[in-house]
Amino acid sequence: MTENLPASCAPAGSEIETVAREAIAEDFWRVASAYGFADADAEELIATRDW
């Protein structure tokens, strides 16, 4: 789902918004926490993405 986000923003001449990026990072952190990685750094969890 998030892989299509940059493609949908491109025609509008914009990149992924900071707010959306933060929301995605929080979601990744919640999943990591659910699997026992509550001390995971949200920024590290999404660091390899090219948004």
Q: What is the rounded CA–CA span in Å between residue 21 and residue 3?
A: 12
Mean pLDDT, to the nearest integer, of 23-47?
Answer: 95
Give pLDDT, residue 38.
Answer: 92
pLDDT of 10 above 70: no
Give pLDDT, residue 31.
Answer: 97
Nearest residue to 51 via CA among 17, 28, 19 = 17
Contact 23, 30 (CB under 8 A): no
What is the chain's mean pLDDT, rounded?
81
Give pLDDT, residue 20.
Answer: 84
pLDDT greater at residue 6 or residue 33: 33
Q: Residue ranges per domain, the chain?
A: 2-46
